[in-house]
Chain A
Amino acid sequence: MKLFSTRNTPENLWRALADAGLVRGAMTVDPVKAHSGDLPSFAKVMLGVAAWISSLLFLAAVGFLLGDLFEDEWVRAILGIIICTSAALYFHKTPPSMFADQIFFILALLGNVLVLSVIAYENIGHSSLPWLLAALIEGGVFVAIPYQPNRFLSASLALVFLYFAGSIGGIAGLFMPLCLALLAIALHFQWRAPQIWPVVAFALSLVPFFAEAWSSIAYESRELSTELPFWLLRICLIGVWLGVVYTMLQRVTGKPLLPQNTSVWLIALLLAAGTWPVPMALFALTVFFLGFSQRDKLLEGIGIVQLLWAVGYYYYALQDTLLFKSLMLSALGAVLLLLYTISHYIFQKKGHDRGEEA
């Protein structure tokens, strides 16, 4: 069955909007032609990787050139600010040029690294304040430099620094539920600022998962144990998940708490309970769910890959025995298949009855 809308060209969609009385006349602006030169996101990611390599090489060259001067954090900070400001001025004032955009993107990265090195150099692990300051700087770079790959990097780095700040402050466990809530909000409002929110959403879908995965694997981070109870963090994540489900039901049915929606709530609670030992799995499921709600195949793919990773992580997690884990998974699988069978039977029967009435 074809699930996507048949309004798959701007002309068709415009016609549908005109039929609904939302617009009048012919389509005056063609969005596809306006963005005809835009590179797809994977191309931007690959170019971003190449740009990072260039900026690190330049950093090494500048480091060797300035030698002892570079030991002085003020030199690094001022140089970094000058470079970032030049890049910001370029992106704001000059018309886009693919060639020059890449050069100033590389310079922006270089400036970014120089400024961050001032904060990171001596302050790692002692206090949350440097990390919060670094996150604020990245926020400033995000606003100042309107170039999408740079925005994605700045958003991601800001989230990473916020995570480290939270780790030292003992509230790292709240990072994942907060990012999930922000992701749902960003996706809901992304049309209001299409240059900003989608990039932020992309970063929000990736960073929390990697941060959680890293903290589960890295020995050092286990010493940064959260002060908040384990169960409280899980409840927060489940709360966000149920909130997302509520919002979707509100949009689709208008009344989320109708008796007809009981099965959806049961499934949501079952998935929340089934993923209790592995919060990453619930995060991944929510990303997958949000991706489908936005018809965003990239988000759906990210959710699936994260889910597979979460299953692999669960295999190696030490909190339970393998036998217990196998029983949990088998029970979850059996219940899910039972629910599938029931729903499939019920809807087949409804369809058959409707056919008979006709």
Chain B
Amino acid sequence: MQGQQKWIAYWREHNALSVQQVPTALRLAGIPPSRQEWRLWIERLLLWLGVAALAAGLIFFVAANWSGMGRFGKFALAEAAVVLSLVAYASCARFRYGNAALLAASLATGALLALIGQTYQTGADTFELFVVWALLIFPWVLIARLLALWVLWWAILHVAYFFYVNTFWAFWGISFREEENVLAGVVLLDGCALIVWEWIRAQGREWMQSRWVPRLLALATKIAVTMLALFIIFDYRYLPVSELYIALYLIVLAGMYGGYRYKTQDLFMLAGGALSVIVVMTTWLGRVLFENSRDQIASFLLLGLFSMLATAGAAWWLRQLVLEQKDGQPSEIHEEVLP
């Protein structure tokens, strides 16, 4: 339930509005949207769904590897998809809808590279195809300034990374046979991306002001770094770089706390950090208790008490932050501009 509906419901609960007046009040608040807003929404739905469906159709076609069409026919199809998308972008670039054409071109490029890999069996590793895909579409990602396209591009790089570690098992002496090293790579990738994104966003780029992309990056970083910490706690091999990874965990936590508590206040980041600390501390305490004590009942009880108190403490701290943030701030719903 969004802000305006909540306010109307609150006024209704406190008898400032009668039951009969609520539908009119909702209409005045813009719920549901007006006819013109619906028309625009339906238009955009048709555009983006149409583009996604066509791109998915092309990808499925390449994956089907249909023997009824020769290789040149398939290449003509994939290349035509890329070219037509770019022509469509060129003809409507002045509209933000041109971004849909760039998305189509980006996906069609992936299909084309998959077709190359499928047809020629050059011996190229899978990760190379994904890296090339990311490189080829990067100029379009820059031009489009579309958040979803940036997320797609970043997802392609992640897939390339995972294929790389599955193929090569080591990079500059760092072995990927240990899961900790793979996770540390993800933490560094996503963490650096988050820092760069927030720094550029702070320069005032309007299209970057939405919070969902940095939150997604922060979520990926926190999940990876939490899993890294858990691996260190449970891994009895205890690698030479384990202390370094513990330091990495603490640096990520401290960095997120400092950045999102004092610089750009974002409760989502702080709540995730609190959950990570609770999980890691509970796990560490569990390992210490079960290794050093034979009394399982007391150990579980202590662990339960600890996590309960930690959760309650986190809830109290987050609420203090909410109250702190709302003091003196206007109670606004921020208007958002659709692409």
Asked if residues B315 and A98 are in contact (CB atoms below 8 Å), the reply is yes
Asked if residues B10 and A326 are in contact (CB atoms below 8 Å), the reply is no
Asked if residues A326 and B57 are in contact (CB atoms below 8 Å), the reply is yes
Which among B13, B40, B56, B66 is the interface contact of A194 at CB below 8 angstroms? B13
Asked if residues B318 and A64 are in contact (CB atoms below 8 Å), the reply is no
Pick from B4, B25, B52 the residue with the most CB of A within 10 Å: B4
Asked if residues B57 and A330 are in contact (CB atoms below 8 Å), the reply is yes
Which among A23, A33, A42, A271 is the interface contact of B16 at CB below 8 angstroms? A23
Q: Which B10-28 residues sit within 8 Å CB-CB of chain A? A: 10-14, 16-17, 19, 21-22, 24-26, 28
- Chain B residue with Cβ nearest A251: B32
Q: A40-B267, A344-B43 are in contact. Are A194 and B6 (CB under 8 A)?
A: yes
CB contacts (< 8 Å) of B13 on chain A: these are 194
What is the 8 Å Cβ interface bit string for chain A, positions 316-344, against chain B (1 contact, 0 not)? 00000111011111111111110110011
Asked if residues B312 and A343 are in contact (CB atoms below 8 Å), the reply is no
B206 contacts partner chain A, Cβ-Cβ < 8 Å: no
Which among B4, B21, B42, B318 is the interface contact of A264 at CB below 8 angstroms? B42
Asked if residues B338 and A3 are in contact (CB atoms below 8 Å), the reply is yes
Asked if residues A13 and B33 are in contact (CB atoms below 8 Å), the reply is no
CB contacts (< 8 Å) of B279 on chain A: these are 50, 53
Minimum CB–CB distance for B82 against chain A, Å = 15
CB contacts (< 8 Å) of A51 on chain B: these are 308, 311
Stretch at the interface among B136-144, B165-173, B235-243, B323-331: B323-331
Complex Cα gap A7–B316 (Å): 32
B146 contacts partner chain A, Cβ-Cβ < 8 Å: no
Q: A23-B17, A252-B32, A253-B35 are in contact. Are A330 and B54 (CB under 8 A)?
A: yes
Complex Cα gap A315–B64 (Å): 10
Q: A50-B278, A295-B31 are in contact. Are A191 and B304 (CB under 8 A)?
A: no
Q: A39-B318, A311-B52 are in contact. Are A9 and B330 (CB under 8 A)?
A: yes
Asked if residues A43 and B9 are in contact (CB atoms below 8 Å), the reply is no
B258 contacts partner chain A, Cβ-Cβ < 8 Å: no
CB contacts (< 8 Å) of B29 on chain A: these are 5, 7, 13, 16
CB contacts (< 8 Å) of B34 on chain A: these are 252
What is the 8 Å Cβ interface bit string for chain A, positions 7-39, against chain B (1 contact, 0 not)? 111100100110010110000111111111111
Pick from A46, A251, A336 the residue with the most CB of B within 10 Å: A46
Please give the number of chain A residues whose Cβ is less than 8 angstroms from any Cβ of chain B in the complex: 96
B250 contacts partner chain A, Cβ-Cβ < 8 Å: no
Pick from B21, B26, B28, B66 the residue with the most CB of A within 10 Å: B28
Asked if residues B311 and A54 are in contact (CB atoms below 8 Å), the reply is yes
Asked if residues A103 and B312 are in contact (CB atoms below 8 Å), the reply is yes
Which among B1, B25, B35, B278 is the interface contact of A53 at CB below 8 angstroms? B278
Q: Which B79-116 residues sit within 8 Å CB-CB of chain A? A: none
Complex Cα gap A311–B107 (Å): 14
Asked if residues A194 and B323 are in contact (CB atoms below 8 Å), the reply is no
CB contacts (< 8 Å) of A100 on chain B: these are 312
Pick from B19, B311, B318 the residue with the most CB of A within 10 Å: B311
CB contacts (< 8 Å) of A42 on chain B: these are 267-268, 271
Which among A191, A293, A329 is the interface contact of B33 at CB below 8 angstroms? A293
Asked if residues B35 and A31 are in contact (CB atoms below 8 Å), the reply is no
CB contacts (< 8 Å) of B64 on chain A: these are 321-323, 325-326
Which among B5, B14, B267 is the interface contact of A29 at CB below 8 angstroms? B14
Minimum CB–CB distance for B249 against chain A, Å = 18
Asked if residues A17 and B28 are in contact (CB atoms below 8 Å), the reply is yes
Minimum CB–CB distance for B215 against chain A, Å = 9
CB contacts (< 8 Å) of B7 on chain A: these are 10, 13, 31-32
Complex Cα gap A317–B63 (Å): 14
Asked if residues A334 and B54 are in contact (CB atoms below 8 Å), the reply is yes
CB contacts (< 8 Å) of B319 on chain A: these are 37, 39, 98
**30 A-B residue pairs with CB within 8 Å:** A3-B33, A5-B4, A5-B29, A9-B332, A13-B28, A17-B17, A22-B25, A23-B17, A29-B16, A31-B6, A31-B10, A43-B318, A46-B272, A46-B274, A47-B271, A58-B308, A190-B1, A191-B5, A264-B42, A267-B42, A323-B64, A326-B61, A327-B57, A332-B53, A333-B52, A333-B56, A335-B50, A339-B46, A343-B43, A343-B46
Q: Could you list which residues of chain A lie within 8 angstroms of chain B, going by C-beta atoms?
A: 1-10, 13, 16-17, 20, 22-23, 28-40, 42-43, 46-47, 49-51, 53-55, 57-58, 60-61, 64-65, 98-103, 106, 190-192, 194, 197-198, 248, 251-253, 264, 267, 271, 274, 292-297, 301, 311, 315, 321-323, 325-337, 339-340, 343-344, 347
Please give me the 4 A-B residue pairs with the lowest Cβ-Cβ distance, nearest first: A5-B30, A333-B53, A330-B57, A333-B54
